[in-house]
């Protein structure tokens, strides 16, 4: 994600935008972005709440969450 500031290019380094063309917008990765998957198992909403509470990703991973938890849930899911 990148914040687009008035009269400047995107903060994520995609280049400059002509002045007056942008006004405080938020840009985000599309479906082709890295780490984006259409199908996956599990639910990471609890991890989102932990992150909001200041829990580190390393602590979440140590508790069995994170990407490895999603991989485990996806491998065990029945998508039929």
Q: Kindly give the confidence (pLDDT) of every residue in the chain, 80 residues in length, as a single tens digit, with 9 standing for 90 and above.
A: 555 555 544 445 555 555 555 555 556 555 555 566 667 788 888 888 999 999 998 999 999 888 888 888 888 888 77
Alpha helices in the chain (DSSP H): 45-52, 57-62, 66-76
Predicted structure pTM score:
0.47
Q: Within 13 A of 19's CA, how many CA atoms are on the CB side?
A: 1
pLDDT at site 45 = 84
pLDDT at site 9 = 46
- For the chain, strand residue ranges (E) read 2-4, 25-27
């Amino acid at each position: 994600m990148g914040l687009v500031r008035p009269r400047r290019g995107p903060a994520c380094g995609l280049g400059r935008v002509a002045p007056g063309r942008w006004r405080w917008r938020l840009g985000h990765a599309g479906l082709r972005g890295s780490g984006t998957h259409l199908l996956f198992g599990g639910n990471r909403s609890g991890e989102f709440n932990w992150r909001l509470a200041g829990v580190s990703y390393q602590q979440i991973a140590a508790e069995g969450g994170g990407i490895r938890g999603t991989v485990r849930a996806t491998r065990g899911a029945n998508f039929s």
